[in-house]
Structure 1
Amino acid sequence: MNEPTKQPAATRTAFLDSGTLLHVWLKAVVPGRAARLDLSLDGRAVASAETDNIEEFAFRVLDTTAGGMAVLTWEPQTTSLSVVYAFRPDTVMADGIMLLTHNETNAPPSPSPLYHFVPPFGWMNDPNGFGRFAGKPHLFYQHYPHSKRWNNMHWGHAVSDDFLRWRHLPVFLFPSEDISQRPDGRGGAYSGSAIAAGDGAIRVFFTDKMENREPEEQNQWTAVSADAIAAAPADLIVPRRPEGLNLTRDFRDPYVFKGPDGRWKMLLASRDREGGVVLLYETADPAGAKGWHFLGILHRENRFGMKAAECPCLVPLGHTGHSETRWALIVGLLTSRCAETGRRNLTTATVGRFDGRNFTPEFEQELDFGTDAYAFQAFSDGDVVVGIAWLANWAEISRQIDYQSAATLPRQLVLRGGSLCTPPVHSVTSLRSGMLDTQALQDGGRMDLGDGAVEILLELAAPGSAFKIDFEHPDLEFGVEQNADGLAILYQASADRTSPRYLARGARAKSLRIFLDRGSIEVFADDGRWTGTKRLRTFAAVRAGRISEGIENLTAAAAWQLRL
């Protein structure tokens, strides 16, 4: 019998400075034969990583010590690599990680979105811990490194100077050792939030989930990172659900913020037998590290056939110490469905007063009529409130298909004229790299959109003026329309089923900013009075736009190519 042909060793080469660390995930291919990755520097063997696990990739850390020309070597017959990246802890905040290798199953989208945030590899969903720490915006997010499908949860991490241009940082939180043994989706480090902990440190709050764990599948933990790169071991702070409320096992998504009384508050998402509930906790501990106790149910939502409240956040729309300050409570309604339009997984924003214990609603509106701005998380950034969301929702996602996702453009939350407006952050204008010729668009002709990364500004003759703009795309038909029903993103989710109507009923917009990127459209009407976000089902570029109806109602148009 002939022996199987031995494959040549695989290698990756890079020059690494002294003090560089490598994060490695590897898995055994053959039962009983260990996976192994060897690291040499300038021809000298210095370190190796091994695992016997054939089910899931094991995490290892290698230290280059002196630095030099590094060569990574492994045998494909016995070793599968998921991800290897390198970084220096003292410079990673400025430089980001250097990705050395990934595989086909966790590769980033190709072509990628051109100016929206995407993970460097693997799966991403909810934003977590969105905030400014040591002067810089940080974004943590739900992450599975090893494929483009949801699985056991980690926290990814990135840092920015302007909310738009992000540097990828090392993976921040990991599932427990038991959950990390196999890719069975049993749990991990679920969604949460973060607060400043002094001297550049960050304290994070998250839900630890382990399916079928007794007495609680989900409970709440906190961890501190002194360097904002790696988290110290976590502490359990809310071990179980409050008694006497008949809550289901849904008990997650801690959002921690400073209340008007100066104490730390925590929102938790849950549900009972009637619908979704938002729970309120409090601590007198200035660090937020301990002493959390339950105050009561802050908010209840049981419409639209929803399953549970998710990802709640509560932000002041003004100075927190002022008695007249309004607060915005934002909640994702898991499995909700609008009977009128067929849209799924709605997000509501309720504006009212919050005294530290009770929330008194004054009005409510939908946060995004396109619904693909889910798991929205916001924070007070000085005098403004900034939020970001997952540019998707669970309506079009399956664990059986790969799904490339992104984050929305960051948005402000502004109370104006009795409405909560969500315009994009001011820094988006820095993306404008050059104007496009809009004369064809204003004449009713075809306007070329270059590489598809575009901002289009339309001014209409009067509020509610009818118009329609169609976009030319190689894989689908979509556009934006305003008529007597309101403002809509026209989009067919798939050819074999009826698509929802992505409609802001009753909207009467006069000006629109339309942002197109590979894989998405975002519409901001009347400076965010109506906002709609839709994830497109492919990452092909939009080729052109044309005003097909209402050209007589168009009074001005401008368009810019966008670049990071």
Structure 2
Amino acid sequence: MKKHKSILAAFMLAALTSCIAQKNSNSPISDNSTAARPVLHFTPEKNWINDPNGMFFYQGEYHLFYQYNPYGEKWGHMSWGHAVSKDLITWEHLPIALEEEDKVMIFSGSAVVDHQNTSGFGTGNVPPIVAIYTAYDAKSGFQSQSIAYSNDKGRTFTKYDQNPVIDLKKADFRDPKVFWYQADQKWIMTVSLSQEKKVQFYSSKDLKKWDLMSEFGPAGVTAGIWECPDLFQLDYNNESVWVLGVNLGTHSIAGGSGLQYFLGDFDGKSFKVNKSLTKEPLNFIEYGKDFYAAVVWNGTPKETKERKWLGWMNNWEYADKVPYYGWRGSMSVPRTLSLEKKDGFFYLKQEPVKEIDNYKKKSIVKSEATIEQANKLLSSFTKSDSLSFSTVFTVNPSTIHDFLRFNIKSKGSSIINFSYNKNTNELILERRKSDKYVNSKQFPTIQKIKLDHSDKEFQVRIIVDKYSMEVFTHDGKYVFTNLFFAPNSVLNVSFETSKQDQKLVFKSVGLDTYL
């Protein structure tokens, strides 16, 4: 993980400022950080975070490492923070796993459970955990790949004394994702040459000596930089497809950072795109602005059927400008990722993990509900600190004259809204500018998806959690993840229609609250 050139200089300046200056550079927007903290989303105890790293599942625990600044609320001094969870929602914060030393930052990477002790790092009968990460040397400006190991289930790590394990003497060579390839009994590393818009594939028998096998790219979106690649297999019925995810530092579909993916075949050496698998020439996993650096957990149950993952809920266009609550940055809702097929073409499907349901405080479902009845369900949400809920509703285009909109307003003006427009047959997400809280010209956004006319009806699920809104629709094919900010504001949350649609009746509308 590293910033694209237009903002790199500013972030590197932040990295080189003193720790004390960073600590005192800003004051929290709210003294009551507990009230502002999301219920369903991971946040650090304090300071800055970005990319999720080193995600693996072992003995009932999900491990989440993440890019972390131990000393301040802006990017710099990058290290690996660490947390574990039994259910992906409630997290136990652990001490920093890998910390910057001697001006060598710990950039993004992955971690694996070395069940066969191929590395030789293990002691006794407990398999070692091996972290594979990019070491950024601020003195030389080079990025190389290094490893560290743990013999206490990831609680503490020892850096390998013969690091780096791969060193190309390049300034933009980063974000290794490693997994065990059972067919050839070897480890596979996927890593980016970010400025060259390429992904390299390496193999190893012991996680120490790596051999280059092949390269992929440039392909798809090639403006900006490529980061945080991920290669994994998914099955659909009796068909197996390999997925290569590539995160884009800029020029994603909603603007700024995002994630494109390719579907194809992997033979243990190289990845080949199979264009017949997908309908669209370019494939994006996310249509909102705030979902980045997503990679899957290694070692989860049923992982060829579905994967679990999350992304950093932010965008490099304004990441250092979002409000500081004592921490800056959060992760998306954890999601299941699976392969779906429609009209002979595959796409990736995202859904919130089912564990979220265990955190419901109240659940209501109404059938044949009018707009007025639906809005009564939402009437209690009048403050940003009260926003932690999920609503599910069914849209039938044939019953709508003009539009149906879900809107969050402050002082009569929309902050963020999601709508279906019957006249243009589009899904539209609109987020208004927020100069008071995010002083960035890139923060306002209008995101649109043009639908075909085959949808007789479709379901929408919207999760709102303090300062984020995630929209899942069309069986998880279209997802919009966006931040919004209105701290301490009086809010109005409601459905809206045109005058002609005032008598619109929902087939069903549901509400789950988490506070």
Corresponding residue of 1:424: 352
Corresponding residue of 2:232: 315
Distance 1:460 1:359, change over 3 A: same
Distance 1:240 1:162 in 2: 37
Contact 1:469 1:481 in 2 (8 A): yes
Distance 1:189 1:110 in 2: 32
Shift of 1:258: 2.0
Contact 1:347 1:371 in 2 (8 A): no
Tell me the SS of whatever aligns to 2:328. coil
Structure 1 residue 545 corresponds to structure 2 residue 510: no
Structure 1 residue 150 corresponds to structure 2 residue 75: yes
Distance 1:301 1:503 in 2: 24
Tell me the SS of whatever aligns to 1:169. strand
Corresponding residue of 2:417: 479
Q: Which amino acid aligns with 1:207?
A: T
Q: Which amino acid aligns with 2:474?
A: D
Tell me the SS of whatever aligns to 1:209. strand
Distance 1:155 1:276 in 2: 25
Superposition TM-score, scaled by structure 2 size: 0.78
Q: Which amino acid aligns with 2:330?
A: A
Distance 1:435 1:337 in 2: 36
Corresponding residue of 2:47: 122
Q: Which amino acid aligns with 1:249?
A: A
Q: Which one is further off, 484-493 or 380-389?
A: 484-493
Tell me the SS of whatever aligns to 1:430. helix
Superposition TM-score, scaled by structure 1 size: 0.71
How do 1:48-127 and structure 2 match up within 5 A? 55-56=18-19, 111-127=36-52
Corresponding residue of 1:469: 406
Q: Which one is further off, 384-393 or 478-487?
A: 478-487
How do 1:155-194 and structure 2 match up within 5 A? 155-176=80-101, 178-179=102-103, 188-194=105-111
Distance 1:400 1:160 in 2: 26
Tell me the SS of whatever aligns to 1:240. strand
Corresponding residue of 1:41: none
Corresponding residue of 2:510: 558
Distance 1:501 1:423, change over 3 A: same
Tell me the SS of whatever aligns to 1:149. coil
Distance 1:109 1:541, change over 3 A: farther
Corresponding residue of 1:382: 301
Structure 1 portions without partners, runs of 5+: 1-53, 58-79, 84-102, 180-186, 243-247
Distance 1:430 1:155 in 2: 29
How do 1:140-539 and structure 2 match up within 5 A? 140-176=65-101, 178-179=102-103, 188-198=105-115, 199=126, 201-213=128-140, 217-227=142-152, 228-234=154-160, 235-241=162-168, 249-259=171-181, 260-272=183-195, 275-285=196-206, 288=207, 290-301=208-219, 303=221, 305-306=223-224, 308-318=225-235, 324-338=239-253, 343-362=255-274, 363=278, 364-379=282-297, 381-383=300-302, 384-398=306-320, 402=324, 404-417=328-341, 418-435=346-363, 441-443=371-373, 445=375, 447-450=378-381, 451-462=386-397, 466-473=403-410, 477-483=415-421, 484-495=424-435, 497=441, 499-506=444-451, 510-539=458-487
> What CA deviation, in whole Å up to 9, does each residue of 1:178-216 have, x standing for no partner?
22xxxxxxx510000010134264211111102351xx6
Contact 2:147 2:165 in 1 (8 A): no
Structure 2 portions without partners, runs of 5+: 1-16, 116-125
Distance 2:415 2:322 in 1: 25
Distance 1:188 1:379 in 2: 23
Contact 1:326 1:353 in 2 (8 A): yes
Structure 1 residue 135 corresponds to structure 2 residue 63: no
Question: Which has a greater percent of helix?
Answer: 2
Distance 1:165 1:394 in 2: 27
Report 1 or 2 for greater relative contact order, CA contacts < 8 Å, sequence distance ≥ 6. Answer: 2
Distance 1:292 1:313, change over 3 A: same
Tell me the SS of whatever aligns to 2:361. strand
Distance 2:245 2:55 in 1: 15
Shift of 1:544: 3.9
Shift of 1:353: 1.6
Contact 2:48 2:75 in 1 (8 A): yes
Choose 1 or 2 for highest CA Rg. Answer: 1
Identity of aligned residues (%): 23
Contact 1:378 1:387 in 2 (8 A): yes
Distance 1:400 1:225, change over 3 A: same
Shift of 1:425: 1.2
Tell me the SS of whatever aligns to 2:131. strand
CA RMSD, aligned part only? 3.2
